[in-house]
């Protein structure tokens, strides 16, 4: 599935009233496609929260700035920069001390959600696989379940980004059960 097709499917999913979607992208183009997808949604005047577990948010900002899209209603929850000693002074970003502090993700999403100006909002969770490095499968499954349901209650369109080749059948099945739709199957 090309990034254009993925973006089209995501927009259709939003228009259908879905709230939670699993988006499966191949490892070859995962980073580039995820950033492009965020750019497409921002271009459609959605405000968003980008949760990054696999790359520092500063890198994602750099890549998004190249697309010339308006980033004024985009915020980050960054689980990487503090762990690796990266830049942690972006006022549009809340930094989580350690990727094991999964509850902090929910808490920081709640805090940032209040700052979003757009009525149509999204959370991009990049990626479920990034968290699996630090958390046991049962902890991760519980977290995804809590995350998914809390996003449903908040009625924020949420995308759980997963790397196709790195997602076990067990995790894929848990994500499928939780999501309204799986894009990129």
Angle at the Cα of 138 (from 135 to 142), degrees rounded to 5? 95
Residue range at the interface with other proteins (CB under 8 A); choices 13-21, 63-71, 105-113, 152-160: 105-113
Which of 110, 149, 168, 173 touches other proteins (CB under 8 A)?
110
Which of 5, 28, 62, 103 touches other proteins (CB under 8 A)?
103
Residue range at the interface with other proteins (CB under 8 A); choices 13-21, 26-34, 99-107, 156-164: 99-107
At closest approach, how far in Å is the CB of 115 from other proteins? Answer: 11
SS3 at position 67? coil
At closest approach, how far in Å is the CB of 141 from other proteins? Answer: 8
143 forms part of the interface with other proteins (CB under 8 A): yes
Which of 9, 71, 146, 172 touches other proteins (CB under 8 A)?
146
Cα 47 to Cα 40: distance, rounded to the nearest angstrom: 11
Tell me if 76 sits within 8 A of 22, measured CB to CB.
no
104 forms part of the interface with other proteins (CB under 8 A): yes
Tell me if 14 sits within 8 A of 158, measured CB to CB.
no
98 forms part of the interface with other proteins (CB under 8 A): yes
CA distances from 180 to 28, 103, 176 (A): 26, 23, 8
Helix segments in the chain, DSSP class H = 3-15, 30-43, 57-66, 81-84, 102-113, 128-132, 137-154, 169-178
107 forms part of the interface with other proteins (CB under 8 A): yes
68 forms part of the interface with other proteins (CB under 8 A): no
Sheet holding 74-78, edge to edge: 93-95, 74-78, 47-52, 121-126, 157-163, 20-25, 181-183
Tell me if 142 sits within 8 A of 4, measured CB to CB.
no
**Which C-beta is closer to other proteins: that of 67 or that of 87?**
87
Number of residues located near other proteins, criterion CB under 8 A: 21
> Which residues here bind other proteins, judged by CB under 8 A?
94, 97-98, 100-104, 106-108, 110-111, 134-136, 138-139, 142-143, 146
């Amino acid at each position: 599935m090309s990034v254009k097709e993925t973006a089209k499917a995501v927009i259709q999913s939003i228009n259908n009233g879905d709230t939670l979607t699993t988006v499966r992208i191949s490892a070859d183009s995962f980073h580039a496609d995820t950033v492009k997808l965020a750019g497409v949604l921002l271009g459609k005047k959605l405000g968003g929260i980008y949760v990054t577990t696999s790359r520092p948010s500063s890198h994602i900002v750099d890549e998004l700035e190249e697309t010339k899209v308006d980033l004024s209603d985009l915020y980050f929850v960054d689980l990487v920069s503090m762990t690796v000693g990266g830049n942690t002074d972006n006022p549009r970003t809340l930094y989580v001390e350690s990727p094991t502090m999964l509850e902090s993700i929910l808490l920081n999403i709640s805090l940032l959600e209040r700052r979003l100006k757009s009525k149509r909002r999204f959370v991009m969770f990049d990626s479920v696989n990034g968290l699996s490095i630090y958390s046991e499968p049962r902890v991760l499954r519980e977290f995804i379940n809590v995350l998914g349901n809390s996003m449903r209650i908040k009625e924020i369109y949420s995308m759980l980004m997963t790397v196709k080749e790195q997602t076990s059948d067990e995790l894929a099945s848990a994500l499928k059960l939780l999501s309204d739709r799986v894009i990129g199957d």
